[in-house]
Structure 1
Amino acid sequence: MLKPCIFLVSALLASPLAEAQVFQREWGDFDLKLGTTPSRSMAHGLVQPTSPGSNSFHGGLDLSHASGLYFGQFSPSMGLSPASKLEVDSYLGFKRPFDQTLGYELGMIQYSYPKLSPLDSQAFYGGLTVLGNRFGVSLGNDPDRRDSTLFADLGGTQPFGIGLSMQYTTHQLGSPVSVEDGSIRSFSDWSVKFSRPWQGIDLDLIYSDSSLSGSNCSAYSGHNSQCDGLLTLKAERSFY
Structure 2
Amino acid sequence: MLKSPCLSLLLGGLLACPFAHGQVFQRELGDFDLKLGTSPSRSMAQGLVKPSAAGSFHGGLDLTHDSGFYFGQWSPSMGITPGKNLEIDSYAGFKQPFDQTLGYEVGIIHYSYPEVDTLDSQELFGGLTLLGSRFGVALSNDPDKQNSTLFADLSGNQPFGIGISMKYTTHQLNAPVAVDGGYVGSFTDWSVKLSRPFMGIDLDLIYSDSSLSGSYCSAYSGHNSQCDGLVTLKAERSFY
TM-score normalised by the shorter chain: which range applies? over 0.9
Report the Cα distance in structure 1 between the residues aligned to 2:199 and 2:82, rounded to whole angstroms.
Answer: 44
Residues 116-161 of structure 1 deviation map (CA, whole Å, 9 limit, x = unaligned): 3642000000000110010000001122210000000000001111
Residues 195-239 of structure 1 deviation map (CA, whole Å, 9 limit, x = unaligned): 111111111111111000111111111111111111111111111
SS at match of 1:239: coil
Report the Cα distance in structure 2 between the residues aligned to 1:80 and 1:239, rounded to whole angstroms.
Answer: 28
Match of 2:150 in 1: 150
* Matching residue within 53, 66, 70 for 1:51: 53
1:40 and 2:74 matched: no
- Structure 1 alignment gaps of length 5 or more: none
Deviation at 1:16, TM superposition (A): 2.5
Match of 1:218 in 2: 218
Residues 52-98 of structure 1 deviation map (CA, whole Å, 9 limit, x = unaligned): 11x3x211100001111000001112223553222110000000011
Deviation at 1:41, TM superposition (A): 1.0
* Matching residue within 20, 23, 31 for 1:21: 23
Match of 1:85 in 2: 85
Match of 1:123 in 2: 123
Report the Cα distance in structure 2 between the residues aligned to 1:100 and 1:17, rounded to whole angstroms.
Answer: 34
CA contact (8 A) 1:31 1:65 kept: yes
CA contact (8 A) 1:210 1:229 kept: yes
Letter in 1 for 2:166: M
SS at match of 1:12: helix
Higher alpha-carbon deviation: 57-66 or 43-52 = 43-52
How many residues align structurally? 238
Match of 1:76 in 2: 76
Higher alpha-carbon deviation: 148-157 or 20-29 = 20-29
Deviation at 1:44, TM superposition (A): 2.1
Alignment map for 1:125-144 (pairs within 5 Å): 125-144=125-144
Match of 1:198 in 2: 198
Report the Cα distance in structure 1 between the residues aligned to 2:80 and 2:7, rounded to whole angstroms.
Answer: 17
CA contact (8 A) 1:18 1:35 kept: no
Match of 1:167 in 2: 167
CA contact (8 A) 1:12 1:18 kept: no
Deviation at 1:3, TM superposition (A): 2.1
Report the Cα distance in structure 1 between the residues aligned to 2:171 and 2:104, rounded to whole angstroms.
Answer: 25
Match of 1:11 in 2: 13
TM-score, normalising length from structure 2? 0.95
- Structure 2 alignment gaps of length 5 or more: none
Letter in 2 for 1:27: L
Letter in 2 for 1:201: I
Report the Cα distance in structure 1 between the residues aligned to 2:64 and 2:18, rounded to whole angstroms.
Answer: 26
Report the Cα distance in structure 2 between the residues aligned to 1:152 and 1:42, rounded to whole angstroms.
Answer: 13
Letter in 2 for 1:116: V
